[in-house]
Amino acid sequence: MTGHASTPSAPRPLLSRRASALRGTVKVPGDKSISHRAFLFGGIAAGRTRVTGLLEGEDVLATGRAMRQMGAAIERDGGSWVIDGVGNGCLLEPEGVLDFGNAGTGSRLTMGLVGAYDFTTTFVGDASLSRRPMGRVLDPLREMGVQVLARSRDRLPLSLKGPRVAAPITYRVPMASAQVKSAVLLAGLNTPGLTTVVEPVMTRDHTEKMLEGFGASVHVETDAKGVRTIALTGQGDLKGVADFVVPGDPSSAAFLVVAALLVEGSDVTIENALMNPTRTGLIETLREMGADIEIVNPRRSGGEDVADLRVRHSALRGVRVPAMRAPSMIDEYPVLAVAAAFAQGTTRMEGLDELRVKESDRLAAVAAGLLANGVEHEEGEDWLTVTGRPDGSGLGGGMVATHLDHRIAMSFLVMGLASSKPVSVDDATMIATSFPEFEGLVAGLGGVLEPAG
């Protein structure tokens, strides 16, 4: 875990060409959301946590570095990671800044974790992270007594200074965001009394599930309308988990699933994908579009549902994707838009406002990428329609601006595997933030990726 994540490296343009068929069995790396939390919760819990299956992407490693700077001992040991945590309430004031590179989840969750400490922490990140809104996390932290110092309002770089004793709050999360929910709950760990988060729309539930596994007192209630109330009792003990297993990332699997659906003759099995229902919206949508995705060998692993996905080339048809499904597939819209470019008819995706504040303005970046590659589409304020060409004829030939966004890069490289003309992306380096194995796995299945001019 060396290096400084926010030092930009030279861009590396990459191109993908139409493949004959993708075949084989692959295992996607660990889930990014769960891996961040494994470092955070292992680092704050007392005693030892051993993590297997951790995603060794740059984003997650940045979180590990930050936890080290605050006193946790974190070492790689063969195929697993061993974390000796500090104990709840016992983080140390870090020396130097915490550099989160491209990582929204790592930075926002850590802001929550350290916010309630009576010391100063400075957060920096790359150009993409420095553009992203942090007010959504800072507003509730301010209510708890945290002071925020930022040159540009609520953007990185910024410093947090916690109060002597933080005030517990009840916070209704104004947007569907697991990061905001998590930041408030994590601030509650070092706050006396009950910290309560009200979540009108359910988002990924890894924080509440994992905190419980690490021994926190977390109480979740869901009312008849689906509104969830999550109450955490602060200043309790957290204990390391002897053997924590990270399931495979469904958001990374998504690229391989769509590639197999689009490339003629493909038959690919993706092993060990997390099937938590707060993460499976893409699979549901693709199946509605006519995708042949077989869920094989469903099982439990690390307290989660996981399964293998057998995916065969399929003729897709356009569908309407309802706004209420967005939280369960929020990171998958770019690659769904690519799938829709090969579907019969029009796909309409609604409720996409949160895409505007991801690693890039993903709605604009997707629309620009579709335009560059001859795909008929229309972009609204919070919606997108894509009209497909099932044989991919005339599609491709463009250079896609990735804006430091790993998912834009991978989505359009998937497009080039099926379009009649190759597709280029202006920079593939960011893929290492979430899915360093992507290029190797695609090549292993028979896909063609090569440097672009």
Respond yes or no: is residue 331 known to be catalytic.
yes
283 touches 309 (CB < 8 A) = yes
306: tokens are: 């996981």
Between 158 and 178, CB nearer to ligand S3P: 178
Which bin fits 173, alpha (ψ -120 to 50), beta or left (φ > 0)?
A: beta
Between 199 and 427, CB nearer to ligand S3P: 199
Q: Would you count residue 178 as binding ligand S3P (CB under 6 A)?
A: yes
Distances (CA, A) of 190 to 68, 121, 128: 18, 15, 30
Q: Would you count residue 331 as binding ligand S3P (CB under 6 A)?
A: yes
Q: Would you count residue 204 as binding ligand S3P (CB under 6 A)?
A: yes
Residue type, 156: L
Angle between helices 178-188 and 32-44 (to 10 degrees): 10
Hey, is 229 helix, strand or coil? strand
Residue of the chain from 58, 199, 354, 405 that contacts ligand S3P (CB under 6 A) = 354
Residue of the chain from 49, 107, 121, 177 that contacts ligand S3P (CB under 6 A) = 177
410: tokens are: 């991978």
Q: Would you count residue 49 as binding ligand S3P (CB under 6 A)?
A: no
433: tokens are: 């933030």
Q: Would you count residue 16 as binding ligand S3P (CB under 6 A)?
A: no
Between 155 and 317, CB nearer to ligand S3P: 155
Of 331, 382, 405, 427, which residue is the catalytic one?
331
Residues 376-395 that bind ligand S3P (CB under 6 A): none
The span of 56-64, 82-90, 176-184, 412-420 binding ligand S3P (CB under 6 A) equals 176-184
Please count the other Cβ atoms lying within 10 Å of the Cβ belonging to residue 120. Answer: 14
Q: Where are the alpha helices (DSSP H) in 135-267?
A: 135-143, 178-188, 206-213, 250-262
Distance, CA of 369 to CA of 126 (rounded, Å): 23
Between 72 and 176, CB nearer to ligand S3P: 176
Residues that bind ligand S3P (rule: CB under 6 A) add up to a total of 10
368: tokens are: 């620009």
Q: Would you count residue 179 as binding ligand S3P (CB under 6 A)?
A: yes
Residue of the chain from 88, 105, 272, 347 that contacts ligand S3P (CB under 6 A) = 105
> Which of 233, 238, 253 has its CA nearest to residue 89?
238
Q: Would you count residue 63 as binding ligand S3P (CB under 6 A)?
A: no
* Backbone φ and ψ of 295, nearest 5°: -95, 110
The span of 65-73, 145-153, 171-179, 274-282 binding ligand S3P (CB under 6 A) equals 171-179
Q: Would you count residue 107 as binding ligand S3P (CB under 6 A)?
A: no
389 touches 341 (CB < 8 A) = yes
Q: Would you count residue 99 as binding ligand S3P (CB under 6 A)?
A: no
Q: Would you count residue 276 as binding ligand S3P (CB under 6 A)?
A: no
| Residues labelled as active-site residues | 331
Chain contacts with ligand S3P (rule: CB under 6 A): 33, 105, 177-179, 182, 204, 330-331, 354
